[in-house]
Structures are given as structure tokens and as C-alpha cells.
Amino acid sequence: MKANFTLLLLVLLLFAALWIFGGQVKEEDLGPSTLIATLIPTKDNKTNGIVKIYRVKEGVKIIADVQGLSLGAHGFHIHKYGDLSNDTGANVGPHYGDMSSKTESSGQSEGSEGSGSEGSNKRTRPDGRPLGDMKMLVADDSGKAHMEMVIHGLTTQQLVGRSILVHAHEDRLEDGKWNSGPKVSMGVIGIAKTE
């Protein structure tokens, strides 16, 4: 009887340990609950705004409020590097998740730079565009745009330290390449202070 009780206790302890340990690992993998990017104008521009990125079950939820835009649609992307050292936005690298510059095999070979966790996720959307290509911002005649969307298959952890860019015009497919014109606003994605 005593042996049975000890065994039961051990099993319970094991489950408790697995639950706590498992929970911690999962939390770390998923990343911070909220990220924020404060968009500042690039050289000779006036576009600014705030982008919040929330960790949700399906991936990440983006909520953007941007002002100082020209009327109409503007390319809006997550770029690979959070390097704003060039005031025109020249050092932010390609769109996040862009595989177009590499030979894409069956999707198994993984020799690219960046964090290893990047490779375990799909790098492109179903339409073939990079995961970092968000819905365009559409500004009204007051120059303001509000955009919300969920990007499936991304974690906040993958986005910390990258950047968000607003372009001068809409996403246009020109000679098989996406082009959205000069960069008008940029911000680094960081961990938000939450209450």
C-alpha cells in the first residue's frame, strides 16, 4: 500500500515537472506577447506612425496606424534587417522571408543566413510572395491609414530586431519583380512595454 502511494506521488511529480517545463519551452519559442515599431520619416519625407504586433494563436496580428501619407495605396513590408543607419532606408535588406534571390528547391535545403528557427516555417505566402509582405496601407485624403491583419505561421520571436517599411507607392509587379518605389518611413521592431 505504501509502495503504491509513493509510485502515485512520483507519477504526479513527473506530470507536474513536464507541465511546468513544457510550458516554459513553448513560451520561449513563441516570443514576446507584444512588439512595437515606431515609424519615423526617411530623409526628406514626413510619414510616421505606430505598428503593434501581437502574438496570437494563428501567428501574429498586425495593427498599423500611419499618417503623413500621400492619397492612395502604399507598399508596407517587414524587411529583414533592423538597420536604420542609412537615412533613406537603404540598409534594411530584402523583404522578410524573401527566397527569390536563392535557388528554391523542394524547400528542404536550408543554408541561408538568419536564425535557424526561420527555416522551420514556410517562408512564402500561398501566392508566392514573402511572408513579410503585408496588406498595403491605403491613405485617405487626410493622409492617414489604418490596417489590421493576421500573418499565419510567424512568431513574434522571428520579428524582433527586423524593420517595417512604408513605400512611396503601391506594390507593383514590374518584369516579374515587386517594386513599391522609394521608402518613405521606417521603424525597428522591438519588444513593447506592456502593463
Residue (35 or 136) nearer to Cu ion, CB: 136
- Minimum distance of Cu ion from residue 53's CB (angstroms): 16
User: Cα–Cα–Cα angle for 103, 173, 66, nearest 5°?
Assistant: 105
Binding positions for Cu ion, rule: CB under 5 A: 77, 165
H-run or E-run covering 29 = helix 2-30
- Minimum distance of Cu ion from residue 57's CB (angstroms): 27
Residues 6+ apart with CB under 8 A from 70: 139, 143, 168
The residue whose Cβ lies closest to Cu ion is 77
Cα→Cα distances 43→31, 92, 93, Å: 32, 15, 18
Give rounded-to-5 percent helix, strand, coil for the chain. Answer: 20, 35, 45
Residue (64 or 165) nearer to Cu ion, CB: 165
Residue (77 or 162) nearer to Cu ion, CB: 77
Residue (32 or 188) nearer to Cu ion, CB: 188
Q: Residue 76 is placed in which grid cell?
A: 508596407
- Minimum distance of Cu ion from residue 156's CB (angstroms): 20
- Minimum distance of Cu ion from residue 165's CB (angstroms): 4
- Minimum distance of Cu ion from residue 97's CB (angstroms): 12
Residues 6+ apart with CB under 8 A from 153: 59, 121, 122, 131
Residue (55 or 64) nearer to Cu ion, CB: 64
